[in-house]
Amino acid sequence: MAFTPASRDWSNIKLPTKLNTTYTKGMFVYHDGTDLVPATTTTQSNVVGILAESKASAANTNKIAVIVPNSPNAKFFADGGSGTLTAAQEGALFDFASGGLTIDQAASTYDTVQLVKYISATKGVFKLNYTLGIEN
């Protein structure tokens, strides 16, 4: 599955991509200092938003549509990639799983996302943790 907005406070913008990088609709992306790249287990900061379209790997930096949060309270639906979510974890912080398409509810090294509402053992409503690197 992929990430999808769960609230209305998101906007669409177009941003440049990185050369020879594959992009999948519904994936979170971050800014690496030059262009957008997919979020992974080891890249948890400078998160920009959710891809609104896919793009095959190419030798160009054509722009791609990205759904960006308008506020720190913008919420999104996410599936768990590993581990099991529980209602008791509401408020807990987690990392992205490898591949940028799910949450790793068994990891909290970077604390990139926060579980806002438990839906099932494999799905929840989350928001980005904007205090990343400040309080954590």
Pairing outcome for strands 47-51 and 28-31: antiparallel
Distances (CA, A) of 60 to 16, 17, 104: 9, 8, 31
Fill in the DSSP letter of residue 97: P
Which pLDDT belongs to residue 77? Answer: 96
Which pLDDT belongs to residue 1? Answer: 64
- Model confidence at 123, pLDDT cuts 50, 70, 90, reads very high
- Model confidence at 43, pLDDT cuts 50, 70, 90, reads low
E strand or H helix that includes residue 14: strand 10-16
Instruction: Give the mean pLDDT of 100-121.
Output: 88
Q: Do 38 and 21 touch, CB atoms closer than 8 A?
A: yes
Query: Does residue 135 carry a pLDDT above 50?
Result: no
Q: Alpha-carbon distance 94 to 82, whole Å?
A: 11
